[in-house]
Amino acid sequence: MGVGNGDHVVVYDGHSEGLMASARVWWMFRLFGHERVSVLDGGLRRWKFHWFPTVSGEPHTPEATNFTASFNPHFLRNYEQMLDNHTSRHKQVVDARSSARFKGDVPEPRPSLPSGGMKGAVNLHYSRLLDAQWGTVKTRSLLASEFQRSEVDLTQPVVATCGSGVTAAIIALAAHSLNT
């Protein structure tokens, strides 16, 4: 990819909701120790709407460079840690899925997964953190209201979860944007 440890990386995607996979890529970079990563708010769709420059054709092959990953375990929880948290409640568990999936009213899209949410978790559908028109992250005051409405205290540790790890990253990105 041509990304070195000192580079500032801006990630984006072309999802119709503005951002989706880019939040997960942001989280993955941070998981592996790369702090200088940003998400293009609104994604490629909003960028093109404002007539900002784009390129087409063969992709540029970047010069090879070294990246030394530094795994940050703070960004990941394993099964045993989640079981322990079920008892200790040291971290708030926030589920980014729809209310219907969280409550178990509809089946999961992956048949091997059971319906419903973790006991003690709160539900905050990721779309509540995004502007409906552009898919941009809502303003700080609106984000704070959404977390508060879901009874999530951002002065305490949060674990974000969903069905596959993509929309949970939107919860993490929004919480991070309020804490920076």
As for how many domains the chain has, the answer is: 1
On whether residue 116 sits in a domain, the answer given is yes
On whether residue 12 sits in a domain, the answer given is no
On whether residue 124 sits in a domain, the answer given is yes
- The tens digit of pLDDT for each residue in 104-144 reads 999 999 888 888 999 999 999 999 999 988 889 999 999 99
Give the predicted TM-score (pTM) of the model: 0.92
Bridging pattern class, strands 122-123 and 92-95: parallel
Please tell me the predicted confidence (pLDDT) of residue 19: 84
158: which strand partners?
A: 92
- The tens digit of pLDDT for each residue in 160-176 reads 999 989 999 999 999 99
Alpha-carbon distance of 27 to 34, in angstroms, equals 9
On whether residue 132 sits in a domain, the answer given is yes
On whether residue 39 sits in a domain, the answer given is no
The CATH number assigned to the domain holding 97 equals: 3.40.250.10
Dihedral (C-alpha) 37, 43, 48, 51: value to the nearest 10 degrees?
Answer: -50
On whether residue 67 sits in a domain, the answer given is no
On whether residue 148 sits in a domain, the answer given is yes
Please tell me the predicted confidence (pLDDT) of residue 20: 87
On whether residue 56 sits in a domain, the answer given is no
Catalytic residue among 162, 168, 171, 173: 162
What range does the domain containing 141 cover? Answer: 75-178
- The tens digit of pLDDT for each residue in 64-112 reads 899 999 999 999 999 999 999 989 989 999 999 999 999 999 999 988 8
- Whether 162 sits among the annotated catalytic residues: the reply is yes
Main-chain dihedrals φ then ψ at residue 23, nearest 5 degrees = -65, -40
